[in-house]
Structure 1
Amino acid sequence: MDNTLDRRALFRGALGVAAASLLTACGGGSPSGGGVSNAGKQLVPWPAYVPFAGPKPDAPGDDTGVQPLYLKYPETLVQSVNDTVGDGSKVTALVVTYGPPPTPVAQNRYWQAINKALNVDLQVTVVPDPEYGQKMTTLMASGSDLPDIIMFTNLALPHSLEFIQARCADLSEFIGGDAVKQYPNLANIPAYAWKGMGRVSGKLYGVPLERPTPANSLFVNRTAMDEAGIPKTWTTEQYLEAMKELSAARKWGLGWYKTLFGGLGAVTYHAGSLGAPNTWSLADGRFTTTLATPQFEQALDVMRKLAEAKSVHPDSLTVSSTDMQTYFHNGTVASVQDGFGSMSPTTLTKINDRFELDLGHPYGPDATPWQGPGMFGYVTFKKAAPERIKMLLRISDYLSAPFGTKEYELANYGVEGVHFTKDGDGIKTLDLFQTENNNTLPFRYLGAAPSVLYLPGHPRTAQATYDWQKATLPRSVANPANGLRSATSVSKGAAMNQIMGDGIAAVVFGRKPLSAWKDIVTQWRNAGGDQVARELAEEHAATQ
């Protein structure tokens, strides 16, 4: 799950976890890369950025990715959409879900309220996370009619961009450059999210679902850490000792889960702590994989030591992300790696005041914490007449309304008095919200506001998160491949990720020695890694 109301921030499960895959940022293409590559193409300008002048935060955000901090909910909300959104017609949508299925619309007051606000009959098909990849593959291969709105995650789907180019609407004339100002909430989406989504053959085909810039992060039980005398900042040796100290009597210092080993999810925190480049490094126009760096190998060595010391939950290679999160919430594991969006009211509700939630600082002296791509995915629209496309964009614009607006409140919390109430401390969710929300009915995957730090009822946790961002994000680094296109990354990406994930697991859990990693990297490069690097270099040169 993944928004201000739920815990998966950027990638989860088969979709990866914030920077979980070496390839997810690269997009798809034809065998030559020419069909969707931006090389040699006229580039549509990125949508203009017109920031929303919202309520004054308790502490400001900044250009390093620090989010605006709100310790209290705004007393006065503004209305960001004044015109009628829809035309009363039926609108179909397909999105992924990480929660249980929604209550049918006839019994769902949240769904009914959104439909009324949008003035459409919005029919949403939600596809469970484990089934999403196959569902999308089947949809793209079929010649059947498409939903009006299709949500794409950062999962690398073979030929997805060719499909988008052939069957989805080119949005360039509607949102390129100053044209986006017709949709003020879309114009409020920061440039990094559009660039993270990228162009296709020089054109804009989607609207990004913005997410904070921190990638996969270490969530910690601060209460357990404090009781054990473990400091907030630590060296590599102190980190290893801390995890060992917290592992006794059927409790463990750290929990991983199986899908983290489908890419870089399990390594992200450690690689960033030890200064490894974020997925790729770029120098003199050349891309070099982080897998071949000494810092990445050091990160594997730290993970291997954690496993050898039995500081890691023994089921970490087989347990689901949901179950490992439960182990964290109930105190069985004292820390867990997950997307930054896990810092959410939903997570705090599940912890239920058993402990103070916090984020772990990187432990290396030359840390370069990894950033995510700044978006969870994007929405595309089925080809249609211009007026229909404009209406679909208005729907996404409404659902992208920023914090401090009436539209944001409805999309994120539901109907006041039905799903939530407000008092001096802010939002208080009611029982119905537990089943009717934008996790079970993820409208957040049709449009998403730029995220802020607001955790209702937990101002200390919000402040601690802000302090963590201020301390870590100035040193953070982005993946230079964000938004670039590589045909090989999609056509061979699954096999390459299999090589990488299996190799990481084998080294970390002792089935292969650390010295075997170099051979694994060679296998990965021969399977397509070197070709991806060449394609990224060509794409980068064409888009500067």
Structure 2
Amino acid sequence: MDNIMNRRGLLRMAGAGALGLAAAPLLSACGGSGGGSGTGGVSNAGKQLAPWPAYVPFAGPKPDAPGDDTGVQPLYLTYPETLTQSVDDTVGDGSKVTALVVTYGPPPAPVAQNRYWQAINKALNVDLQVTVIPDPEYGQKMTTLMASGSDLPDIIMFTNLALPHSLEFIQARCADLSEFVAGDAVKQYPNLANIPTYAWKGMGRINGKIYGIPLERPMPANSLFVNRTAMDEAGIPKDWTAEQYLDAMKELSGERKWGLGWYKTLFTGLGCITYHAGALGAPNIWAVSGGQFTSTITTPQFEQAIDVMRKLVEAESVHPDSLTVSSTDMQSYFYNGTVASSQDGFGSLSPTTLTKINGRYELDLGRPYSPQATPWQSAGMFGYVTFKKAPADRIKLLLRISDYLSAPFGTKEYELANYGVEGVHFTKEDGGIKTTDLYQTENNNTLPFRYIGAAPSVLYLPGHPETAKATYEWQQATLPKSVPNPGQGLRSATQVSKGAQLNQMLGDGIAAIAFGRKPLSAWKDVVAQWKQTGGDQMARELAEEYAANQ
């Protein structure tokens, strides 16, 4: 069997309980949800803190344009002629290693028919068996997995999605990695040492300890991807006001086409509104003043952003299925030109996306539409991987696997992990990577090893240098004004136990107003309910945690 746990087994586990009920046993199993001491405490307040891993940057190939401290990525218009080798020692011991990760693409072919998978296994010298969970099913299946008493995979990937009691689960059943990666210890794994400190901080500690390896992502957060060709044809400028933006979305709608498409999983929290909130100057999730935390949802700028969304829907500028369609389907609508713009994670800017667009138009990103804009920065990581508790030698093996798959751009290991086997999945032509037909089905999207280890990202889009340059210019225009979330990486017992419920409350409230089921004035009731249900308590806990981490 190619997967660690076949899908029927996962479905049987998923049937054990509903999303909210499945996690209940963790409270007793893991010792409570409070922030105090003991096995159940996840707060770092008052705890001895493991030092962040030392940062030893990789001296990679010289870029065509440099990155900077605001988060602008180094730009590469051509592929390096000479690659270095970042892993000299044997990684694995020939044993079976099981992994569980999310996927946003179609399922991979089994390992026996998958030359990319076979090549990775050979390079790692392990039998790496991967089970992928489709994004729409991830929350429920992960929650039921955590609630079950069954054996765990060796490697478990967690996204930034708020899963009830996930931190308690990690502390109870996953390995404390502090002795292996904290401080200078990480230098035994040079590619992990190359992960910037902001990614480790974005992941955060649990009870003062380090339990995961972050999957680094660049500074831009949820972004507005746009069909630049359609916008140029309509005379829509790159720099626009709020009124010009609304007019543009209306101009691009009609004859079964729409200016904008959302998708249903964006409404499980603040994902659908992040571009608008940042464009109008709302703080990134939280604001801190005098050590006190205030939620962005209480600000007038955030309410104004909801009003922009309402106006978009009223003008029939939004795809009518936006509350029900999956992220995969909405991406397809964007790729084929049915919608002219779509919000998505910045990581969607990839060769895979550009291949799916297939030259129909030039891809770009939308700039903020007001002078007071505070574009939201990302968490600095997409998620993180944890390892099942095991003897030290086994943990070191798993760390070597993550280290290999985290190899930076300009290395042989990066090339294999991201493009596959030369002559099979890609060729090198005209100073760049050219993927083959086989790459369309065997790649790091359908078989996401990037969710076991991820290199710090650079801006290189093989075959699409103009898109890369346009993105670099967008970053230069946007990131200097961007703001971080001061609560990122901090621990709150309320966030652990009620985060998913609170996020859903906000998503439901935004959807109800944006799609005309309730008036804008109803937002104050959503805010009041959110604060009473746990929002105020979460703010107090984050303030305590923030003080402890200064």
Q: TM-score, normalised by structure 2?
A: 0.92
Deviations 1:464-520 (A, max 9, x none): 000000110000001101000111112122222222111101111121111111111
Instruction: Render the CA deviation track for 1:8-65: whole Å, top value 9, x for unaligned.
Output: xxxxxxxxxxxxxxxxxxxx99432221110110000000000000000000111111
Q: Give the 3-state SS of the residue equivalent to 1:369 in structure 2.
A: coil
- Of the three residues 396, 399, 404, the one matched with 1:398 is 404
Question: Structure 2 matches for 1:233-382, cutoff 5 A?
Answer: 233-382=239-388
Q: Residue 49 of structure 1 aligns with which residue?
A: 55
Aligned partner of 1:166 among 172, 180, 189: 172
Q: Is the CA contact (8 Å cut-off) linking 1:30 and 1:159 kept in structure 2?
A: no
2:516 equivalent to 1:510: yes
Q: Give 1:350-499 correspondences, 5 Å limit.
A: 350-499=356-505
What do residues 273-303 of structure 1 show as CA deviations (whole Å, max 9, x unaligned)?
0000001101111000100101001111111
Measured in 1, the distance between the counterparts of 2:512 and 2:137 equals: 27
Q: Residue 6 of structure 1 aligns with which residue?
A: none
Which residue does the alignment assign to 2:9? none
> What is the SS of the residue equivalent to 1:192?
helix
Match of 1:176 among 182, 205, 213: 182
Distance in structure 1 (CA, Å) of the matches to 2:180 and 2:498: 34
> Which protein has greater RCO, CA pairs closer than 8 Å, 6+ apart?
1
8 Å CA contact retained: 1:30, 1:36 = no
In the alignment, the residues of structure 2 paired with residue 147 and residue 176 of structure 1 have an alpha-carbon distance, to the nearest angstrom, of 24
Contact 2:136 2:265 in 1 (8 A): no
List aligned pairs for 1:70-89, cutoff 5 A: 70-89=76-95
Task: Tell whether 2:158 aligns with 1:152.
Answer: yes
Partner of 1:31: 33
1:510-529 to structure 2, matched below 5 A, reads 510-529=516-535
Q: Deviations over 1:192-213 (max 9, x none)?
A: 1000000010011110000111
Q: Structure 2, unaligned stretches of length 5 or more?
A: 1-29
SS in 1 for 2:255: coil
Distance 1:224 1:307, change over 3 A: same
The whole-number CA distance in structure 2 between the counterparts of 1:150 and 1:495 is 23
Separation of aligned partners in 2, 1:504 and 1:470: 31
Q: Structure 1: which amino acid aligns with 2:393?
A: E
Deviation at 1:187, TM superposition (A): 0.4
Asked if structure 2 preserves the Cα contact closer than 8 Å seen for 1:185 and 1:401, the reply is yes
- The structure 1 residue matched to 2:109, chosen from 103, 110, 113, is 103
Find the aligned partners of 1:148 and 1:250 in 2 and give their Cα distance: 47
Corresponding letter in the other structure for 2:46: G
| Residue identity opposite 1:297 in structure 2 | E
Please list every run of 5 or more consecutive structure 1 residues that lacks an aligned counterpart in the other structure. Answer: 1-27
Amino acid at match of 1:344: S
CA deviations over 1:159-187 (Å, ceiling 9, x no partner): 21111111111111110001101100000
Contact 1:29 1:485 survives alignment (8 Å) = no
Aligned partner of 2:139 in structure 1 is 133
Task: Give the corresponding residue for 2:227.
Answer: 221
Hey, what's the Cα distance between the residues in 1 that align with 2:175 and 2:326? Answer: 37
Counterpart of 1:59 in structure 2 is 65
Q: Is the 8 A contact 1:213 1:371 kept in 2?
A: yes
Asked if the contact 2:269/2:503 (under 8 Å) is kept, the reply is: yes
Q: SS at 1:96's partner residue?
A: strand
Taking the aligned partners of 2:548 and 2:191, their CA distance within structure 1 comes to 30
Instruction: Determine the C-alpha separation between the residues in 2 that align with 1:274 and 1:124.
Output: 42
Report the secondary structure of 2:271's partner residue: coil
Q: Is the 8 A contact 1:161 1:200 kept in 2?
A: yes
How many pairs does the alignment contain? 517
Partner amino acid, structure 1, of 2:35:
G
One-letter amino acid matched to 2:342: V
CA distance in 2, matches of 1:182, 1:138: 35
Structure-2 separation of matches of 1:236 and 1:402:
39
Relative to structure 1, the CA distance from residue 394 to residue 88 in structure 2 (aligned partners, 3 Å threshold; closer, same or farther) is: same
Query: Sequence identity, in percent?
Result: 84
Change (3 A) 1:481 1:29: farther
Deviates more, 1:65-74 or 1:491-500: 491-500
- In the alignment, the residues of structure 2 paired with residue 323 and residue 89 of structure 1 have an alpha-carbon distance, to the nearest angstrom, of 38
Residue 192 (structure 2) pairs with residue 190 (structure 1): no
Counterpart-to-counterpart distance in 2, 1:70 and 1:29: 49
Measured against aligned partners, the alpha-carbon deviations of 1:61-117 in whole angstroms (never above 9, x if no partner) come to: 111111110000111100000011111111111111122221111221111111111
Q: CA deviation at 1:144?
A: 2.1
Whole-angstrom CA distance in 1 between matches of 2:104 and 2:331: 13
Among 18, 42, 46, the residue aligned to 1:40: 46
Given that 1:30 and 1:487 are in contact with CA atoms closer than 8 Å, whether structure 2 keeps it comes out as no
1:267 is paired with a residue of what secondary structure? helix
Residue 200 in 1 paired to residue 200 in 2? no
Question: Quick one: distance in 2 between partners of 1:125 and 1:309?
Answer: 43
For residue 402 of structure 1, give the secondary structure of its aligned residue in structure 2. coil
Aligned to 2:26: none
State the alpha-carbon separation in 2 of the partners of residues 136 and 326 from structure 1: 26
Partner of 2:539: 533
CA contact (8 A) 1:244 1:310 kept: yes
**What's 2:97 paired with?**
91
Give TM-score, length-normalised by structure 1: 0.93
Partner of 2:19: none
